[in-house]
Amino acid sequence: MGMSAQDKMLHVANRLGLTTLKDMQGTTRMVYDSQTTAALTHTFFKGASQRAFPLTNVGANGNQFQVDEALLVEKIAFFLPSDATGISYGGLSNVSVKFDLVIGNKTVIKDATIEFGGEQAFWNDGTAGSCVLDLEGVGILIPPQVEYYVVAKTYDCFTRAAVSVRLGCYLFGTGALLNFNTTI
């Protein structure tokens, strides 16, 4: 039987010496960041503490989780903000994305692509092309207080030419929230 998401979180946390993560509140968590200035290359989450809702949901901690909070990334997706406000957004629409995910000083996903309309072997979303990459295996853990970011480049999925677009990214998976198990 494969390892569960919770098992992997606790295994990695234990290896990192995070002995109290097992006592924290389990949750489903997602973080997103969006950049509403069109560009060929986007770096997400780095500097996100300078942005506010609805551009991002990371808050003042920016691109690291606070003590005893973590996210096991199980899905990564990209989206296109509709305008400079970042309120509305849509699917990738013929745009594909090539990206790296970096946690700490380590590249944990390298030159991966989300090809617009990919994952159709699994996707059950009517006529919409998938913009989501499901991570193989159990997922990748972003531990507490370790910086993470995503570098993404966009291109036309047909011509393979670089295209300048607004872009957003979310990381979704099983999480842990700080839970004081004692009165303070």
Partner 1 sequence: MANQVQKLSYVDAKLGVGLPGQQTTRVIYDSINATAGQGFYEFFTNFAGKTEFQTNLTTNKLDSAESMVIKSIQLIGFFAGSPTPASLSDHLNLNITVGNQVVLKDFDPSFNGSNRGFSFDRLHSGYNNADNLEVRLLTDIVIPPQVNFKATLQIASGANVVLNDDITIVLKGYGRIFSAGASF
- Binding residues (CB under 8 A) for partner 1: these are 4-7, 25-32, 53-54, 57-59, 74-75, 77-79, 86-92, 122-132, 170, 172-175, 177, 179
Q: Which of 143, 145, 96, 151 is nearest to 119 (CA)?
A: 96
Any bridge partners for residue 109, and if so which? Answer: 101
Structure tokens, 159: 């011509």
As measured in angstroms, the least distance from the Cβ of 38 to partner 1 is: 19
As measured in angstroms, the least distance from the Cβ of 9 to partner 1 is: 11
Considering beta carbons, is residue 17 or 126 the nearer one to partner 1? 126
Considering beta carbons, is residue 90 or 104 the nearer one to partner 1? 90
Q: Which of 23, 7, 24, 18 is nearest to 177 (CA)?
A: 24
Is 131:119 a contact under the CB 8 Å cutoff? no
Considering beta carbons, is residue 32 or 149 the nearer one to partner 1? 32
Is 31:45 a contact under the CB 8 Å cutoff? yes
As measured in angstroms, the least distance from the Cβ of 179 to partner 1 is: 6
